[in-house]
Amino acid sequence: MKLEEGVLKKDRRALARLITLVENDSDEAQEALRVLHSHTGKAHIIGITGPPGGGKSTLVDKLAKELRKRNKTVGIVAVDPTSPFTGGALLGDRIRMSELSTDSDVFIRSMGTRGALGGVARATSDVVKLLDAFGKDTIFIETVGTGQAEVDIVKIAHTTIIVTMPGLGDDIQTIKAGIMEIGDIFVVNKADRQDADKKVMEIQAMLELGQKKNSWEPPVLKTTARDGVGIPELLDLAENHYRWLLESGNLKKMSIEKSRAELFSIIEQNVEKVVVDRVDEGEIDKLCQQIANKEIDPYKAADEVLAKTGIKLKK
């Protein structure tokens, strides 16, 4: 049986195997994604991001459990920077496995952010597609951090939840970097700590300063994920947001925009494959050395490489 057929038949092993192929950017994965494309588009994709230390993983776990209570199946993609210094991804995995792994309707996968940047957002997007085609009702994308990379990854989501906590960052810098604009719901987690209300007010003040992108007004919610406080309410808000997206026509718009990004990304990828296939590696190495030695400029070198591929850009 082909892996894509396995995924459609809800075979977890086929899913896991295909995710690995996607991460390795194999041709087999591309073929599978091609077939599975028409089976996607049913899941609600929720992005969770925010500064480190805000308790995102706990929040996602509790939301997943709440969804299971509501008889929904769950996929979790944790895009966690792997570093030899921290081993973050692996550790996070292990902690979770103990809590959720007994439930076969929750599928968890950690991904590293190594390699090309476009690559990570793309790989994440493809993994989410696989989970969608597999039939997961709700898919979480959790990323650590507040940088542009996280923003790009979270853009794959329909609903973006920004998680922070009291006392995290004296100033607003920790949640800048364009992250405010992409938040559909703001959460002040660990709300049993001092100054939770102050943090809520800070966020509300910032939201008032910002441009309103549409008729959705991002709510700010307090949670204490560890104790499950605020979790059902947060999930309700997320589901409200999805309903609003659907009814306002914004879901459709997002889907078309995403298709466009995907289309151009595939075009680029195809061209790069052709270059690597058709041009001798030694020739490319030589050109790179010449660029480094300032003997040729990179634009001219690009023209030469394209000429060798047989790709004619000039009319």
Residues of this chain, 119-158, that bind a copy of itself according to CB under 8 A: 120-121, 144-150, 152
3-state secondary structure of 127: helix
Nearer Cβ to a copy of itself, position 83 or 101?
83
Residue 41 or 228: the one with the smaller Cβ distance to a copy of itself is: 41
Q: Which stretch binds a copy of itself (CB under 8 A): 15-23, 70-78, 99-107, 115-123?
A: 115-123
Question: By CB under 8 A, how many residues form the interface with a copy of itself?
Answer: 85
Amino acid at position 9, single letter: K
Give the sign of the dihedral formed by CA 1, CA 110, CA 222, CA 162: negative
Tell me which residue of 67, 3, 62 sits closest to 32, measured CA to CA.
Answer: 3
8 scored as a contact of a copy of itself (CB under 8 A): no
CB 158 within 8 A of CB 42: no
Task: Tell me how far, at minimum, the Cβ of 102 lies from a copy of itself, in Å.
Answer: 28
Q: Which of 250, 222, 227 is nearest to 237 (CA)?
A: 222
Q: Segment contacting a copy of itself (CB under 8 A): 13-21, 66-74, 214-222, 305-313?
A: 305-313
Q: Which is nearer to a copy of itself, 210 or 228 (CB)?
A: 210
In the stretch 58-97, what mask flags binding to a copy of itself with x, by CB under 8 A? Answer: -----------------------xxxxxx-x---------
Give the pairing type, strands 106-111 and 74-79.
Answer: parallel
Torsion over CA: 109, 20, 162, 256 (sign)? negative
Residues 153-192 that bind a copy of itself (CB under 8 A): 169-174, 176-178, 180-181
Minimum CB separation of residue 185 from a copy of itself in Å reads 16
Q: State both tokens at 51.
A: 């500064």
The structure tokens listed for 14 are 């086929």
Rounded distance between C-alpha atoms, residue 173 and residue 146, angstroms: 10
Q: At closest approach, how far in Å is the CB of 237 from a copy of itself? A: 21
Contact map string, positions 202 to 241, toward a copy of itself, x by CB under 8 A: ----x--xxx------------------------------
What H or E segment, with its residue span, contains residue 9? none
- Minimum gap (Å) between residue 22 Cβ and a copy of itself: 13
Task: Name the amino acid, one letter, at 80.
Answer: D
- Least distance to a copy of itself, CB of residue 248, Å: 16
Q: Which residue number, 20 or 270, has a Cβ lying nearer to a copy of itself?
A: 270
Least Å from the CB of residue 236 to a copy of itself: 26
**Minimum Å distance from CB 133 to a copy of itself?**
11
End-to-end CA distance of the chain: 46
Question: Which residues 235-294 are close enough to bind a copy of itself by CB under 8 A?
Answer: 252, 255-260, 262-264, 266-268, 270-272, 274-275, 284-285, 287-289, 291-292, 294
Phi, psi dihedral angles at 186 (to 5 degrees): -110, 135
Cα separation, 48 vs 96, in Å, equals 16
Rounded to the nearest 10 degrees, the angle between the axes of helix 117-134 and helix 27-36 is 50
Should residue 114 be labelled a site residue for a copy of itself when binding is judged by CB under 8 A?
yes
| Gap between the Cα atoms of 143 and 177, Å rounded | 15
**Which is closer to a copy of itself, CB of 12 or CB of 201?**
201
Give CA–CA dist 277/68, Å, rounded: 47
